[in-house]
A = this chain, B = another copy of it.
Amino acid sequence: MTRLTIKEISKLANVSVSTVSRVLNDKSDVNEETKRKVLRIIDQYGYIPNSNAKHLKQICSNIICIIVKGMQNMFLEPIVEEMQSQINKTKYISLIYFIDENESEVDVAYRLITEKKPVGIIFLGGSPSLKADMYKDMEVPCIFATMSAEGMNLDNVSSVCIDDKAAAKKAVDYLFEMGHRDIAILGGRLLDKDSIFKRFMGAMESYREHGEEFNEKLFIQSKFTYDEAYAAVDRSLQPDQPKYTAIFAMSDIMAIGAAKAIFENGQSVPDDISIIGFDGIALTQYYNPTLATIKQPSVDIAHKSVDLLIQNIENKKTAHNIVLGTELIKGESIKCMLCR
């Protein structure tokens, strides 16, 4: 298998390489007829331009890179797909990279900038709070999707996310409304400033507003996986641990892990313990019992991210942080303690 080059195509079409290049890049200054001729040859021989050569030379492309942190994240995947389809409706081209939880998105971004010369980058997932100046150095318009860039004060970085604190508060408020008083919080490690921390603060605020004191032992820490949530909740169900009648889980996956622990301890969801999740993945509606959750506006996040990025690319507009609302989805996983 040996592929054709632009030179060979140009010979075949009886034009110069630059003319072929112009056709390839849809430049305006090329005769309609010549264009058609070249296009025909290209099609006929199944020519595909070598993108290495293209990007090696080209200063600026119409590529938008999406860097997704976490491959196995059911919440992010629909967002990626929506972003991709949005971008594909425009003149821009989307390029998606999945990176590992412990890879640095900034490093990947840097590599991508030299390799693909993108005009914009969307960072989806993760929590790149630190290393602010590295983003500035990139000089490429960036969007943080699902995480805030507030306070970073970089004029090439915008963000589209939810108000994590308010959303978490909404979840816990709902549990209080349903008559629960001992509400456990199932979440990740509390690091200053990130979403997890904000969600925790939201829960605390709800506790405060309802005049209840939070027993610190009711914070159950775990990673965002079924297994870890299961194990952590299982431990919290031991006789020596404080009792609770409801759990606010910081992700739906965690909520499902928690539910299994509850079942295996011979208890029922929601009769013994109610659960509310977070994110609003499709599975919540297919789980048994259906899982109450705080639904993040995935589609909106995707659309707003793409729109904002393109605006920033084209108008060189200044950075902007968009905060979107969440929706409380009720479900069978919550029992009302007040209803007789």
Contact = CB atoms under 8 A, between A and B. Distances in A.
Q: How large is the interface on A (under 10, 10 to 19, 20 to 34, 35 or more residues)?
A: 35 or more
Nearest to A85: B100
Interface in A86-124: 96, 98, 110-111, 113-115
A110 B226 CA distance: 38
Contacts of A257: 286
A63 interface: no
Nearest to A77: B72
A286 B284 CA distance: 13
Contacts of A138: 1
A190 interface: no
A114 B286 contact: no
Interface stretch (A50-58, A173-181, A213-221, A292-300): A50-58
A113 B1 contact: yes
B48 A56 contact: no
A113 B287 CA distance: 42
A19 B70 CA distance: 38
Contacts of A30: none
Nearest to A257: B286
A330 interface: no
A137 B78 CA distance: 35
A286 B50 contact: no
Contacts of A139: 1
A289 B138 CA distance: 50
Q: Which 4 A-B pairs have the closest CB atoms?
A: A52-B56, A52-B52, A1-B137, A52-B55
8 contacts: A1-B138, A51-B52, A52-B52, A52-B56, A72-B78, A96-B98, A257-B286, A260-B286
